[in-house]
């Protein structure tokens, strides 16, 4: 990474919490309480889990391994699909996400790392940074290779639309299932509660464990200049991102679990997609 950026990191304009973001984040959590009123069904839980897995894949394989690290290549349609599905997670857009992630690697576990649990608190590394004024802007100097894609700039600007569309989709799905398959025991409101709100809140905290837990708890295979850890639990809930010490050592490698016992579901899926010709040039750790 460029030495000018290292010497002159972007300065936050305002510190403290962004009340607008806090309100939205709190609303997403409170809306989960809807589930107590709607009840639950196997169909609602299945959609909740399916949307968790599909969107976690879009975040790990898309926002992280593709947009932030360019660890493999793909065509624009699949790139857009990953960006769109990732954006339904309501973690802002692909440009914002990638710029912040590149900043993390550039300044890992220093004062300039917004979500370091070593330099800041566990709360700050988990959600505090996401809710703060200083994380709201996108430092476009960190993502010059992504700015050329008009569709990514559009998604990043209108990042609220994909989650709204997914919320509407889950509601409609529940309505249709309730009407045509009453045996499923679901409804529009129930599917909205589980398929959108609960699933999205689980995704928030699943993703954020990489910043908090994977910089605090777990083993260290490599003596990296940070506090990154390899953590099986984080790897399971994030489809492979828990091998975070491996990742900080080999940030451009698509594969993060280096041995067969280091479960890396995103890697297995990307390998299968490469056999199908959807993605290509998966980068591997250097030999030896
Ligand atoms: Zn890290
Ligand atoms: Zn990374």
pLDDT at 24: 97
Distance between Cα 37 and ligand 1 center (Å): 39
pTM of the model: 0.93
pLDDT per position as a tens digit, 118-134: 888 999 999 999 999 99
Give SS3 for 88: coil
Residue in 81, 60, 56 with CA at minimum distance from that of residue 71: 60
CB 255, CB 264: distance < 8 Å = yes
Whole-number Å distance between alpha carbons of 265 and 255: 10
pLDDT at 266: 98
Provide the H-helix boundaries in the chain.
Answer: 3-7, 19-31, 34-38, 42-57, 76-87, 94-106, 122-123, 150-157, 161-180, 188-191, 199-208, 232-237, 244-249, 265-275
pLDDT per position as a tens digit, 199-226: 999 999 999 999 999 999 999 999 999 9
Give SS3 for 214: helix
Distance between Cα 103 and ligand 2 center (Å): 10
Number of helical H runs and strand E runs in the chain: 14, 2
pLDDT per position as a tens digit, 219-278: 999 999 999 999 999 999 999 999 999 999 999 999 999 999 999 999 999 999 999 999
Whole-number Å distance between alpha carbons of 5 and 157: 24
Distance between Cα 63 and ligand 2 center (Å): 10
Distance between Cα 225 and ligand 1 center (Å): 11
CB 163, CB 192: distance < 8 Å = no
Distance between Cα 109 and ligand 1 center (Å): 8
pLDDT per position as a tens digit, 1-38: 444 444 444 444 456 899 999 999 999 999 999 999 99
Distance between Cα 75 and ligand 1 center (Å): 27
Whole-number Å distance between alpha carbons of 166 and 88: 7
Domain ranges in the chain?
Answer: 14-280
pLDDT at 5: 43
pLDDT per position as a tens digit, 144-201: 999 999 999 999 999 999 999 999 999 999 999 999 999 999 999 999 999 999 999 9
pLDDT per position as a tens digit, 65-124: 999 999 999 999 999 999 999 999 999 999 999 999 999 999 999 888 888 898 889 999
């Amino acid at each position: 990474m460029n030495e000018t950026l290292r010497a002159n990191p972007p300065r936050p304009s305002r510190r403290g919490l962004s009340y607008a973001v806090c309100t939205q984040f709190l609303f997403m959590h409170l809306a989960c309480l809807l589930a107590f009123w709607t009840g639950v069904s196997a169909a609602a839980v299945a959609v909740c889990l399916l949307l968790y897995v599909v969107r976690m894949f879009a975040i790990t394989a898309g926002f992280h391994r593709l947009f932030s690290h360019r660890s493999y290549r793909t065509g624009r349609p699949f790139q857009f699909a990953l960006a769109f599905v990732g954006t339904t997670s309501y973690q802002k857009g692909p440009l914002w996400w990638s710029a912040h992630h590149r900043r993390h690697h550039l300044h890992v576990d220093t004062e300039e790392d917004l979500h370091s649990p070593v330099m800041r608190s566990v709360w700050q590394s988990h959600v505090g940074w996401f809710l703060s004024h200083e994380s709201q802007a996108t430092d476009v100097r960190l993502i010059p290779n992504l700015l050329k894609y008009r569709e990514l700039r559009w998604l990043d600007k209108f990042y609220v639309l994909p989650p709204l569309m997914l919320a509407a989709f889950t509601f409609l799905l529940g309505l249709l299932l309730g009407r045509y398959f009453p045996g499923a025991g679901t409804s529009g409101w129930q599917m909205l509660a589980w398929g959108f709100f609960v699933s999205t809140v689980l995704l928030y905290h699943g993703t954020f464990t990489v910043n908090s837990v994977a910089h605090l708890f777990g083993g260290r295979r490599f003596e990296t200049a940070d506090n990154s850890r390899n953590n099986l639990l984080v790897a399971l809930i994030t489809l492979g991102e828990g091998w975070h010490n491996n990742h900080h050592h080999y940030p451009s490698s698509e594969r993060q679990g280096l041995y067969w016992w280091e479960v890396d579901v995103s890697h297995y899926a990307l390998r299968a997609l490469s056999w199908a010709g959807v993605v290509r040039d998966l980068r591997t750790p250097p030999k030896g």
